Amino acid sequence: MRIKILSKNRLNYSNRRFRQEAKDMGIKLTVTDAAECEMFLSPNMPLLMKGGKPIEKSDLIMPRIGASINNYALAVITQYEMMRVPVLNTSQSLYNSKNKLRSIQLMSIADIAIPKTIFVRRPSELTEGVERVGGFPVMLKLLSGTQGIGVMLAHNMASIESTLDTLWSLGQDILIQECIEESLGRDIRVFIVGNEIIGAMRRQARIGEFRSNIHRGGIGSSIDLPLEYRELALKAAKTIGLEVAGVDMLESEEGPKVIEVNSSPGFEGLEMASGINVARLTLEYCVKKYGK
């Protein structure tokens, strides 16, 4: 089987692990930056080129780009779909997950438990909006971002106004979300492959940090996920349309709440904390469903 990973970083942990397991399984796996692909379109003949030559054939495309995915990468993935090459996480699901507002909208209409959220563009609406999500403190989140980047904690209106004035002047939109104080500094990451949970961990932020991402120094510990959390995570991934997903949840007094659904979840922390071979299980799923 021939699998192509689309990723900017060939040497990150996940891609190294995929290459290692693919070699052991007899899978030909390559990593290519979507920016290196050239798209050619003519009537009923979409093609992808690299270096002026038709790109090598693949049995499956695995995008590993995450929330930083841009329109060019989405177009490359769409081109593969037009060429009838299977894609693990479709272009539509990637579009859904890359924008935090769209993800929240989809989960809201699907009756998935999420933190109260507002999205405004006028300063005059801020006071009422903050009250609507439960008052201070509140979370401020850029519409795109990963590994905790673009997430801020605001304790008063002055800090919100200062932050939003700067971001709005730069053309950036931002979500204002209720802060689940009892879960501040920790969350749960659930790793899903093909409508099956293969592992979960609780992430605890380092001292002095409210973001629990492993890339920001958070520490992961393997957990047995309660049924309520399992059902919610699976529903969230299905709602966004992802086959492979990392669902992040908070443990609130009202029960679990989904804060994000990631299309390209890192799994170094989960493998280290649990001993689960995430790379192998993901590739086994690929072979079972898409193998030739």
At residue 45, the pLDDT reads 84
Same domain, 102 and 76: no
At residue 215, the pLDDT reads 55
Domain count, the chain: 3
Residue at 292 is within a domain: no
Which percentage of the chain shows pLDDT scores above 90?
73
Residue 57 has pLDDT above 80, yes or no: yes
Task: Tell me the per-residue pLDDT of 190-225, one tens digit each, with 9 for 90 and over.
Answer: 999 999 999 999 998 766 555 555 555 568 799 999
Query: pLDDT-derived band of residue 164, with 50, 70 and 90 as boundaries?
Result: confident
pTM confidence score: 0.91
Same domain, 127 and 103: no
For residue 203 the two structure tokens come to 């992430």
Residue 122 is part of which domain span?
117-179
Burial class (CB in 10 A: 0-12, 13-18, 19+), 268: middle
Same domain, 212 and 106: yes
Residue at 233 is within a domain: yes
Which percentage of the chain shows pLDDT scores above 70?
93
Burial class (CB in 10 A: 0-12, 13-18, 19+), 162: exposed
- The average confidence (pLDDT) of the chain is 91
Same domain, 175 and 209: no
User: Of 75-84, 119-128, 134-143, where does the model show the most confidence?
Assistant: 75-84
Same domain, 109 and 237: yes
At residue 212, the pLDDT reads 55
Q: CATH number of the domain that 199 lies in?
A: 3.30.470.20
Domain boundary among 134, 150, 179: 179
Same domain, 31 and 46: yes
Same domain, 74 and 125: no
Residue at 290 is within a domain: no
At residue 59, the pLDDT reads 97
Q: Are 265 and 243 in contact (CB under 8 A)?
A: no
Task: Tell me the per-residue pLDDT of 166-188, one tens digit each, with 9 for 90 and over.
Answer: 888 888 888 999 999 888 889 99
Q: CATH number of the domain that 144 lies in?
A: 3.30.1490.20
For residue 170 the two structure tokens come to 């730069």
**In which element (H, E) is residue 62 found?**
strand 60-63
At residue 81, the pLDDT reads 97
Give me the torsion for CA of 153, 155, 160, 166, rounded to 10°. Answer: -50
Place of tokens 């990723």: 7
